[in-house]
Amino acid sequence: MNDNDVRIDNEDTMKDLYLIFTVNKRDYALDVHYLIEIIAIQPLSEIDNMPEYVKGVINLRGKIIPIIDVRLRLKLPTKEYSEFTCVLIVKLGELFFGMVVDAVQELIHIPEENKEPTPTFLVTNKTWCIDYIGKLEKDIKMILNLDKFLHWNEVEKLQTTELV
């Protein structure tokens, strides 16, 4: 076996792999291909003229990372951060940003055949960024579409705004 074989095997193990996180007592799934790392909540530097859901920025090993509160982005009630609150550092295109979530649960495989499009009547102002629902044995997970979670013009604003 050569190095290429190992790399292919590792890529195969990431196929259909999702990080399950909780926001407002609901489980969401995020494709791990977007995930860079998970960190504890840190003190934030606030930035003027940002949308309400952009809580500020952090300096993560010399890189300025905008932090988005998922609760506020989904128009859910606010909640004090706790010892379980985490920040998911993700990459969307060329933009790195953090997503504040209530808790991280686990990594799970959701095969393609276990994904169903979100029924149209379930799409609301709080579920607009959920394209699929993952079916598990006795549970379901809402699969977050990161491209819809942060619209292209918001990405552009975060990329072009002088943050520091």
Q: Which residues of 117-128 are buried (b: 16+ CB within 10 A; e: fewer)?
A: ebeeeeeeeeee
Report the alpha-carbon distance of residue 103 to residue 12 in Å, rounded: 27
- Asked whether the beta carbons of 53 and 154 are under 8 A apart, the reply is no
At 71, is the secondary structure helix, strand, or coil?
Answer: helix
CATH number corresponding to 3-160: 2.40.50.180
pLDDT at 10 over 50: yes
At residue 122, the pLDDT reads 54
Amino acid at 160: T
Overall average pLDDT of the 22-44 stretch:
94
Question: Torsion angle of alpha carbons 120, 129, 28, 55, nearest 10°?
Answer: -150
At residue 161, the pLDDT reads 53
At residue 82, the pLDDT reads 93
Paired sense of beta strands 35-40 and 86-92, if any: antiparallel
* Least-confidence region, from 4-8, 48-52, 146-150: 4-8
Only one residue has tokens 């090993």, namely 61
At residue 6, the pLDDT reads 34
Domain ranges of the chain: 3-160
pLDDT at 114 over 60: yes
Only one residue has tokens 């504890």, namely 40
Overall average pLDDT of the 69-81 stretch:
91
Overall average pLDDT of the 112-129 stretch:
70
**What does DSSP assign to residue 45?**
B
At residue 131, the pLDDT reads 81
**How wide is the angle at C-alpha 73 spanned by C-alphas 68 and 79, nearest 5°?**
80
- Asked whether the beta carbons of 43 and 65 are under 8 A apart, the reply is no
